[in-house]
Each structure stands twice: as C-alpha cells, then as structure tokens.
C-alpha cells in the first residue's frame, strides 16, 4: 500500500512540476547560509519560480497566519538548471536544491559568493560561514523547543503553533539567546543549527532569528519532497544525526557543544553521535519540556555521561560561564 501511494504521489508531483515549468519561465535562487570545510566553501540554495514572502501583522488572526504558512509550502521548484559561481557549476536536483563546492580561500567570517542561474544575468549572494582561526569550539543547536518554543513533543501542539503563528508572535527563549550570544563571543566561535523543520521554513526561521537577535549560523533543515527511493524523507533522528556528522567533519579541530531538548528524544541522538565521534563532544545541554525527562531520557543521559561528557538538563539553560569552562578545558 505504501509503495503504491509513493508511486502515485511521485507521479502527481512530477506532473505538476512539468505543468509549472511549461506555464512559468521565471527563475530565482533562494539562498541558504553555507558552511566551510578545511578545503572547500559549500554554498547551498534552491531554484524556484518565485520567492514567497510573508507580511505578518501583530493582530493577524490564526486563519490569516495559517494561509500565509501554507503558502510557504506551495513552492514551484525548478529542476535540471545550471547554477554557477565563477567557473564552478552544478545542476539543481528534482526538488530544485543545489550545492556548490569551491576551493576555500583565506577570508573568514561570512563570505559572500555571487551565484547565478545560467542564462540569467541577476546574481544572488550566497553567504558561507568560515570559522575564525581563533575559534575555541563550536555550538550545534536544535531549533524547536531548544531556542524556539514549538511544542514539538506533541504533534497536535506542534502543528498548531507552527502553522498559526507568525514571525511577530513566535516565542524565542531569552535564555537561549543569551547563552548563544555569550558562547559565540561575537562570532569567534561558530554556531550551527539542525532541525527536522522543512527547508520551506528557512526564510521564516531566519526572520524570527534576526528579529530576536539569535546568533546567526548555517541551518541544516530537512527536505520533505519525494524521490525515487524515498517517500517524504528520512526520519527526525537520522536527519539530525547525519547533519551533526556533516558539521563535525567540516570542523575536525573544533570541540563541540550539542544543544537540544527532551521533547524529541535528542538525548539518544546525541549519545549515538558521541559514540561515533569519541572526544569530539565536550558537553550536552538538554532543555526539559512538558513533564521533564522520562526514563528513556535519563537512560540516554547516563549513556552520555558514561562517555565522559557532561550533561546539563533542566527547564532553563545553564550559566554560560559553566558551559564555557567545560568547552575550553583540556581534560
């Protein structure tokens, strides 16, 4: 049954894509913040026929917000077009996504890369974060219920909060803002975000972050599209674990702090990461949501501690000085 549904959904999506390509000729790039490896700059984005923008109002009704949120998922992707920066080129995939990898330069901080679609003159700046050589550690943080109140531990609450709010009324945790600001030390120590939220929410999330002064960093979100071998995409745990692996491998000399929450069982994901990458993670922070930590959470925290990694957990973020001391210790 699932295989039949997968084939039907894939055929329907491809039919809609063909119709949209025939009807619309415009092409634009939605740029995502990229990251650096020891040898490369990795620029990321998506080719669409148009960008969807929200115009939020403080007093907007939940129904108005719902309509605007739904519009973010009604994207018209453009596959099989050439995207380039300088002499480096690639082709957008079936969902419009592209990744450009080019040799790393000496510049650090947010490095702009002019990217364009072949046959079009307009350029889009894709910014890539290159950590400072003075960085002491990095922070890899979940988003939902770690820095942004969502209620992801309950599907009904998650959908209601996510789909009926807007960038003006979504709540960002003030203690997370302070902790990331303090640990980042004005950008010296890089921050990365991992989430099971779809890429369709990228601009929505970045606007919330900017409005609330959350430390800027590349996001690793999830593709909810269909493909030949996947119905939707991999699950929450495998996506988050794979994203953390990518970030650790991109920054092989930096110890890491992992931030998450108990609502989506981040403790187990982080315990697996620590076992796969011994001596790379120095500390874990878990915000306790809903009823706090259950037996499974406590078991996974014990597994983390048995690896020699400290775990901070509770409804509030710990003091930054306590976390920084662990991250910069030699033991």
Q: What average pLDDT does this structure show over 94-105?
A: 95
Number of neighbours of residue 70 by Cβ within 10 angstroms: 10
Instruction: Lay out the sheet containing 123-130: strands in order across.
Output: 88-91, 82-85, 109-117, 123-130, 28-36, 40-48, 97-103
User: What's the pLDDT score for residue 188?
Assistant: 96
Of 123, 83, 88, the closest CA to residue 105 belongs to 88
Q: What average pLDDT does this structure show over 258-270?
A: 93
- Token code pair at residue 68: 């605007």
pLDDT, one tens digit per residue, over 182-238 is 999 999 999 999 999 999 999 999 999 999 999 999 999 998 754 454 434 455 568
pLDDT band at 24 (very low <50, low <70, confident <90, very high): very low
Distance CA 190, CA 63 (A): 38
User: What's the pLDDT score for residue 154?
Assistant: 66
């Amino acid at each position: 049954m699932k295989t039949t549904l997968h084939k039907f959904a894939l055929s329907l999506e491809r039919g809609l894509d063909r119709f949209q390509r025939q009807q619309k000729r415009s092409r634009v790039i939605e740029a995502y913040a990229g990251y650096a490896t020891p040898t490369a700059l990795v620029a990321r984005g998506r080719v669409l026929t148009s960008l969807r923008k929200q115009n939020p109002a403080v007093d907007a009704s939940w129904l108005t917000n719902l309509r605007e949120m739904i519009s973010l998922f009604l994207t018209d992707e453009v596959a099989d077009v050439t995207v380039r920066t300088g002499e480096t080129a690639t082709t957008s995939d079936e969902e419009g996504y592209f990744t450009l990898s080019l040799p790393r330069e000496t510049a650090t901080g947010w490095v702009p890369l002019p990217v364009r679609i072949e046959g079009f003159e307009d350029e889009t700046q894709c910014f890539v974060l290159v950590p400072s050589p003075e960085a002491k550690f990095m922070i890899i943080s979940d988003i939902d219920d770690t820095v942004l109140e969502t209620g992801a531990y309950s599907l009904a609450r998650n959908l209601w909060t996510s789909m009926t709010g807007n960038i003006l009324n979504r709540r960002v945790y003030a203690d997370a803002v302070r902790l990331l600001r303090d640990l980042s030390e004005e950008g010296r120590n890089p921050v990365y975000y991992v989430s099971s939220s779809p890429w369709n929410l990228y601009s929505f999330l970045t606007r919330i972050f900017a409005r609330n002064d959350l430390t800027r960093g590349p996001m690793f979100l999830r593709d909810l599209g269909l493909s030949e071998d996947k119905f939707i995409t991999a699950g929450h745990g495998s996506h988050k674990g794979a994203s953390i692996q990518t970030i650790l491998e991109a920054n092989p000399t930096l110890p890491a702090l992992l931030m998450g929450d108990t609502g989506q069982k981040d403790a187990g994901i982080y315990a697996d990461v620590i076992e796969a990458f011994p001596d790379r993670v120095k500390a874990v922070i878990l915000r306790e949501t809903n009823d706090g930590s259950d037996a499974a959470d406590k078991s996974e925290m014990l597994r983390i501690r048995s690896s020699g990694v400290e775990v901070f957990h509770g409804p509030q973020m710990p003091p930054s000085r306590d976390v920084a001391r662990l991250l910069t210790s030699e033991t």
